[in-house]
């Protein structure tokens, strides 16, 4: 695993795993260029971490907003060494037929379309640079299933297939990797498991191991499905 400073674009940086990973990566000396939808947390991240790191309010489901964010990053920092597609939604647990078309569509817009929007915005510059890793957050439910989370499972199974196909499109020197973060005590997990999530690591406990994994990814991992 290299210790060289990396430039890292990270979605969903304002809460949960994204926030903990942002703090961990910055503490290790890497430059984080993050986005999220929470304006207060974007301001807090900017105030806490200073001008070297950039944080923008972006809804990844909005392709124009993603393009504007990426254009700003590419102009100021060049192609990122690592893109982490972390932003995601979980459905309210319910049988599939009880989940509205609107709720299903919004989840897919963020979890799948949002990931594609970010890839579309950054991949050409990374290809031109001849290097870089695109890490797409999957889930245990992208490799297995459970009752009452069919929309989330569908989105994460899509991420697994999308990532493996993307890996075949990328030229040598780059990598696309699907990353299952594991089971962590987040608001998302508590929505499904309630208090039962309390036995899992917190995002802050998870972040050092996750950072080791993300920073260790390289061309040799292209097309792989890995887990923290």
Distances (CA, A) of 104 to 11, 64, 101, 135, 224: 21, 22, 5, 24, 28
Q: Rounded distance, CA 164 to CA 160, Å?
A: 6
Q: State whether residue 32 is helix, strand or coil.
A: strand
Sheet bearing 82-85, strands edge to edge: 54-57, 31-36, 7-10, 82-85, 132-137, 174-180, 225-227
Q: What whole-number distance in Å separates Cα of residue 166 and Cα of residue 160?
A: 10
Distance CA 71, CA 69 (A): 5
Active-site residue flag, 49: no
Half-sphere exposure of 87 (CA within 13 A, CB side): 33
Catalytic residue among 55, 69, 141, 152: 152
DSSP strand pairing (82-85 vs 132-137): parallel
Cβ-proximal residues to 47 (8 Å cutoff; 6+ apart), any chain: none
How far, in Å, CA of 18 to CA of 1, rounded?
A: 21
The candidate with the shortest Cα–Cα distance to 69, out of 1, 12, 107, 146, is 12
Active-site positions? 152
């Amino acid at each position: 695993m290299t210790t060289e400073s990396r430039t890292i674009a990270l979605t969903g940086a304002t809460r949960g795993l994204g926030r903990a990973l942002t703090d961990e990566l910055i503490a290790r000396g890497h430059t984080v260029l993050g986005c999220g939808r929470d304006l207060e947390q974007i301001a807090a991240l900017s105030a806490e971490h200073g001008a070297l790191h950039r944080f923008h309010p972006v809804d990844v489901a909005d392709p124009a907003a993603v393009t504007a964010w990426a254009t700003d990053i590419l102009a100021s920092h060049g192609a990122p060494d690592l893109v982490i597609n972390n932003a995601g939604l979980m459905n309210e647990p319910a049988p599939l037929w009880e989940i509205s078309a609107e709720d299903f569509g919004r989840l897919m817009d963020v979890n799948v379309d949002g990931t594609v929007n970010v890839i579309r915005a950054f991949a050409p510059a990374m290809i031109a640079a001849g290097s870089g890793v695109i890490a797409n957050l999957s889930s245990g439910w992208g490799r297995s299933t459970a009752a009452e989370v069919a929309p989330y499972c569908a989105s994460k199974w899509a991420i697994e297939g999308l990532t493996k196909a993307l890996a075949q499109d990328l030229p040598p020197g780059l990598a696309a990797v699907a990353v299952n973060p594991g089971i962590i005590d987040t608001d998302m997990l508590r929505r499904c498991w309630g208090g039962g999530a309390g036995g899992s690591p917190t995002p802050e406990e998870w972040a050092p191991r996750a950072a080791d994994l993300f920073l260790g990814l390289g061309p040799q991992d292209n097309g792989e499905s890995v887990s923290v």
